[in-house]
Amino acid sequence: MVFNNSLYFCSMEKRGGKRGGLKGSGKIGRRSTSGVGRGRADEKKSLSNPNSKRTSRRESAEEEEKKPFKKFEKKPFAKKRFEGKSKFGSDEVTESRSRTIKAKYSEDKTGEDRVRRPRLKGKSSAGRPAPIAQQTEVHETRLNKYIASSGICSRREADKLISEGMISINGEVVTQLGTKVQPGDEVRYAGELLSFERYVYILLNKPKDFITTVDDPQGRRTVMELVKNHIPERIYPVGRLDKNTTGLLLLTNDGDLAKKLTHPSHGVRKIYHVVTDKPVSKTEMKQLAEEGIELEDGLAKVDSIAFVGDGINKRELGVELHSGKNRIVRRMFEGLGYKVTKLDRVSFAGLTKKSILRGKFRHLNEKEIGMLKMVK
C-alpha cells in the first residue's frame, strides 16, 4: 500500500496548530492544566501551598486533626448593671439598678410558663377588670302552663285545679287564675313538687306484650320501659294500644296537645293493618263502612276499608277510622264473627312509622310538631 506523504504531513500540521506545530520528539510544547507537556522545573514545585485553593482534601483533613479539641463550656448568666434616670417633679434622680438576665426557657420546667396571656392594647394587665359573665334571662310563666308542662294534665284542667285550691306556690295556696310563677318558686300539687320541663314529643313503634300505661301494679312490662333510660322528662302515652296491638304510639308531656289528639271531636285519623283468621267478604266490609255495627257502647263504623296490596289475600285489610274507643277495631270484627290475629297501627295523625324499628323511637321534628298543633 502506498501513502501520499504530502497529504499525511499536511493533516498532522493542522492537528498541532500554529502554536504547537510538529516537534521531533512528538510532545506538545503548550503547557496544559492536565499535566501533559509539564517540564522538569514544574515537577520540582511543591504541591502543598497553604494559600492555594487547590489544596487537597486529605491535607486539609490532616490539619484539622492536629488542632486541639475545645470542649463547650456553659457560662453562667452574668449580672448587668445599668444606670437610668427618672423624674419626680423637677428633681432628677439617678438610679443604678441591677438585674439578672434569666434564661428564656428553663430545663427543669415543662414549658407551661412559656404561654403568655393576651393583653389589651394600651392597658396593663393589673388594671384590667375581670370579664362579666353573660347571664341568661329567665322569664316568668303562667301557672296553668307550668302545671301542664309538668305532665299531669292540660291547661284547662290545670285551671280547675287552681280554682279548687289544689295548687300551692312556696307553701301558699293559690286560687286566682292567671297567677305567674317566678324563677325559683316551688309549685306543688297535693303536696308533690312539680317541675317545669320542656315539651318532648316521642314517636314509638310499640312491640307486642307491652301495655300502654305509665306504671302497672301487676308488674307487667309497660311502654315507659322502652324510653325511660333515654328521656329524662316525665312523658306519658297519648291514647292507648292494647297489649297485643303493635305500631305507632305518641308520647309527650304537652297536655294540651295530648287532649286534642285523643278527643273524638277533632277527628284524628288512624290507619291499622288488620289480619283476620278467615277471609272477609265485601258485603261485610261495606257494612262496616256504611251502616256500621252496634256494640255495647254504641254504633261504630270505619271511615274507609280495603284489602291490602292487590287484594288476593282476603284476610289482610287496611282500616281507617277516627274513633278512640277502647279495642274498637277488634270488637268490630268480633261482632261480625271474625278474630283478629294481628293488629298494627301504621299511621297516626299523619305520622308514619317509616324508618322506626320495632321497639325503637325517634323525636318529632319541628315540621311534624307544627302539623300536630294545627289539628282542629
Residues classed as catalytic: 242
Cα(148)–Cα(259) distance, rounded to whole angstroms? 11
**126 phi and psi angles, rounded to 5 deg:** -70, -30
C-alpha cell at 64: 484539622
Cα(360)–Cα(347) distance, rounded to whole angstroms? 16
| Strands in the chain per DSSP E | 79-88, 91-100, 141-142, 167-169, 172-173, 180-181, 187-189, 192-194, 201-206, 236-238, 246-252, 270-276, 293-295, 298-300, 304-307, 316-321, 340-348, 351-352, 361-363
C-alpha cell at 319: 282500616
**Residue 276: half-sphere exposure toward Cβ, Cα within 13 Å:** 25
Pairing of strands 298-300, 293-295: antiparallel
Cα(166)–Cα(187) distance, rounded to whole angstroms? 11
Contact 42, 36 (CB under 8 A): no
Cα(216)–Cα(35) distance, rounded to whole angstroms? 113
Helices (H), the chain: 5-20, 40-43, 57-66, 143-149, 155-163, 255-262, 282-286, 328-335, 366-373
The CB density around residue 6, as the number of other CB atoms within 10 Å, is 7
Contact 342, 244 (CB under 8 A): no
Q: List for the chain the helix, strand, coil content (%; round to 5).
A: 25, 25, 50
Query: By CB neighbour count within 10 A (0-12 exposed, 13-18 middle, 19+ buried), where does 193 fall?
Result: exposed
